[in-house]
Structure formats: C-alpha cells, structure tokens
Amino acid sequence: MYIAQAYKGLSDSWRYVLGLLVVFVFWQVIGGIPLIAALLVKADSLEVLGSGDMGVMADILGANTLLFYMLLTFAIGLISLFAYVKIVHKQTVTELTTSRRKIDYKRIFFAFAIWALISAAFIFVGIALAPEDYEFNFKVGPFVILAIISILMMPIQTSMEEYYMRGYMMQGLGIIAKNRWLPLMVTSLLFGLMHIFNPEVTKLGYGILIFYIGTGFFLGIITLMDEGLELALGFHAANNIISALLVTADWTAFQTDSLYRDVSDPVLGWDVLVPVFVVYPILLYIFSKKYNWSNWKDRLTGDVPSEEIFLALQNDNSDLQRPS
C-alpha cells in the first residue's frame, strides 16, 4: 500500500497542491540562482541562459562546473521537498519512499547494477557497430572530476525527480482520486513531457518522447508493483550516471567530459524503441520473479482505500504483531 502511506501524515489535498508549487519554486527558481550568478560573473550577460544553449554555457563555465551547478538545483529541490513533507505533512522520508518498515537499499543497488550493466552494454555495442560515429574523449583530470560529481550528485538529481513525481505526486494524486491508475498515468505522462524542452527533442523531434514517456510508465509500474520507490531510484541513478560517464554530444542536456563523444548526425531510430518495447518488459519479468509480484491489475489500476480503512488495517496488523 505505497500510495496509502500518505495517510500516515497529514494528507489534506491543499497540502499537496501547495507542496507541488512550493517545491517547484525552490527547485527551478531558487535552485537556479547559483547558476545564474556564476554565468553573470563569467559572461556579464544572461543572454546565454535565455538561449538555453548548453554548449555555450559549457564553454563559459567549463563542462564539469556547469554540470555541478545544474545538479545543485536538484539538491536544493530535494532538500525543500523533504523539509516540506516533514514540516507540513508530518510524514517521514521512509513513508514517502516505501511501504516497508525501512528503506530497502538492496533493492536500490540491485536495480542500479542491472541497469548499469545493460545501458553500458548498449553504449559499447553502439560504438562497436559504428565506430566512426564516436570520438575517444578521455582526459584524466576532467574525467576524474566528472566521475566524482556524477557519483556524488547524480543520485541526488535522479532522486529528486523520483521523489517529486513517483513519490510525492503519486501519493497525493492517489489518495485524492482514490485509485492507482490515475497517478500512474499522470506521473508517467508528466515525466515524459517535462523533457520536452531538452535539446535532444529539438534535435531528434517529438518522437523521442516515446522513450521518455515509456520510461515514465516503466518507473511508475515498478513503483506500484513493488510498493516502493527503491527500484525506480536505483534504475534512474544508473541510467544518468552511465550516460554521463560514457557518452556526451553537443545536442544532449548534459555536456560532460565523457569517455566518448558522439559526433554523428543523430537520427531517431531503433535505439529509442528497443528499451521501451523490449528491454523494459524483460526487466519487469526479472523484477516480478525476484520479488514475487502478483495481482498486477489491482496494484496498477485498483482502488486506494480510505484513510479510515487504511488506519484500521494498520492497527489490526499492529495488534497481530504484538506478543501475547
């Protein structure tokens, strides 16, 4: 009953509406102030920020410095989200994360490991099949700094997105709508659409949104089926860390000192469809066998109990667990 964990705190609708707005302001507005200040110091103008040209900003600040400031916005957003949940909802981070008694870090590491291996394999296969499309870009100093920033801060970035979308928003929508299918649909679509301003979309077209929205549905499904965010947290962190470390391009959201640089003229191809329609279903099968998932229809589309029923069930379970 992951969504119903919201009942363990103060779950009035207005708290969620206000929370989504407040946290968004801290994340996207206040969180961006350090980046704006750094650009003003270096460029004496905010025109480059208004243009959204990541390549130019990377040239001004340096790729690793720009990456740090971009990830810092997510750190500020995550701190504000945890603080709001604690102060306004009186809910713990554990209850925002999982329906289990404590956060299952083994689940996080398992999802991280399996997707890190798969995504790295995809990248190296792509390089082997079309070596002319890639340029070896390894520089010891910048790469070490990139690795440190990625390992320390990218999990914060991906966690912010997961906690905001598939944590806070999913719980809030679920207890308001009293069902699971609406929060699954809304958060998955919003997750995809929030990438619409990424330079990848400009370069490849709106077809790339199939990948983003498909990934949103995959992450939403594993969250509801597993009754917690742990698998989504691990998967998302692996995806971004491996991408940042191994391959960069002039048309991607993150400009990094990666191991390789993609110098090809990008086209929308099979690499967008295969993860969504082949790899993700295989991962769902693996997770379902490992964690004994069942009752898919009810977990993904069923009703969310009322607060009174949920708390009564919690009390009954507590009584059963007390020694006689």
Say if 321 falls within a structural domain: no
Say if 36 falls within a structural domain: yes
The answer to whether the CB of 271 falls within 8 A of the CB of 126 is yes
CA 31 vs CA 8, 70, 146, 197: distances in Å: 29, 9, 21, 18
CA 310 vs CA 6, 63, 271: distances in Å: 10, 49, 43
324 vs 22: which has the higher pLDDT: 22
Look at residue 203 in the predicted model and tell me its pLDDT.
Answer: 83
The tokens for 184 are 């699954």
For the chain, the straight-line distance linking the first and the last C-alpha, in angstroms and rounded, comes to 26
Which amino acid, one-letter code, is at 256?
T
Say if 319 falls within a structural domain: no
Say if 324 falls within a structural domain: no
Say if 269 falls within a structural domain: yes
Q: What is d(CA 285, CA 296) in angstroms, rounded to the nearest whole number?
A: 12
257 vs 110: which has the higher pLDDT: 110
Say if 322 falls within a structural domain: no
CA Rg value for the chain: 21
Q: Which of 138, 130, 103 is nearest to 230 (CA)?
A: 103
Q: How much is the mean pLDDT over the chain?
A: 91
Say if 17 falls within a structural domain: yes
Look at residue 324 in the predicted model and tell me its pLDDT.
Answer: 37
Domain that holds residue 257: 3-314
Number of domains in the chain: 1
Query: What confidence tier does 317 reach under pLDDT thresholds 50, 70, 90?
Result: low
Look at residue 83 in the predicted model and tell me its pLDDT.
Answer: 98
